[in-house]
Amino acid sequence: MPQFYGTHVDSPLMLGTAQYPSPTIMADAFRASGAGIATVSLRREGGAGQAFHDLIKELGVPVLPNTAGCHSVREAVTTAQMARELFETPWIKLEVIRDDDTLCPDVIALVEAARILTDDGFQVFPYCTEDLSVCGRLLDEGCEVLMPWGAPIGSGRGLNNPYGLRSLRAHFPDVPLVVDAGIGLPSHAAQAMELGYDAVLLNTAVAKAGDPVAMARAMALAIDAGKLAHAANPIEARDMAAPSTPVFGMAVLG
């Protein structure tokens, strides 16, 4: 099972808490999936925050607060500081967004915010692109986890750049890597694990499914399958056929 900043978690599935049809369905989805981490956020208190806090505590899984919606270093750092006090954890899923259509990370601001937060004792989970140089910079600044996107948040497109994700895995074999965002189907989650990733973070694919509880279970099974497949050392793909049935000993009948 994955380990982040020295903490073991019970499952490679990191599941978001947003957009479910009801709190009960959200809780059932978490139970069905056995998710190891719940991602959460913070917003202006409009009356619902206290009940949600109680619900999260009942889930009994570690929480990973995010800085979703932040577009600047200052916003992200202040949000992280409030999240640390609110959720009583040094973990922060650091999001600094550059473009609202794609929710593409502002990688320059991300590196700067990661530096400030790491210096302040945070354990940063950066939502980043799969760019090797950006990821290297984040590691230089003290990040011990990387969370490259598979595709834009909420798009359900799967892994847009499997080559880039594979390359990242090869370059940083000892760094916990999480595919964060873009997962739409269990097969996408399985593919991330087949690439050797340590975990998958998803939300919309489960919360907005027709049956979120069933989809949560399907994601958990796919992640287990992908993880097992990676450990089993898959065959290399090839362009030409290779007979699986032995040619030697074939009767001459023609």
Q: Is 47 annotated as a binding residue?
A: no
Nearer to another protein, 74 or 171 (CB): 74
Minimum CB distance to another protein, residue 217 (Å): 19
Instruction: Give catalytic status of residue 227 as yes or no.
Output: no
Which residues 36-55 are close enough to bind another protein by CB under 8 A? 39-45, 48-50, 52-53
Q: Is 79 annotated as a binding residue?
A: no
Gap between the Cα atoms of 148 and 11, Å rounded: 19
Q: Is 164 annotated as a binding residue?
A: no
Gap between the Cα atoms of 219 and 11, Å rounded: 12
Distance of alpha carbon 57 from the chain centroid: 21
Is 81 a binding residue for another protein by CB under 8 A? The answer is yes
How is 81-116 classified by DSSP, letter by letter? HHHHHHHT-SEEEE--EEETTTTEE-HHHHHHHHHH
Applying CB under 8 A, among 3, 7, 19, 24 the residue interacting with another protein is 19
Is 172 a binding residue for another protein by CB under 8 A? The answer is no
For residue 128, what are the β-bridge partners? 148
Angle, CA 227 vertex, CA 102 and CA 29 arms, to 5°: 65
Which residues would be at the binding site for another protein (CB under 8 A)?
A: 16-20, 26, 39-45, 48-50, 52-53, 56, 65-66, 68, 74, 78, 81-83, 85-87, 153, 202-204, 207
Catalytically active residues, by annotation: 93
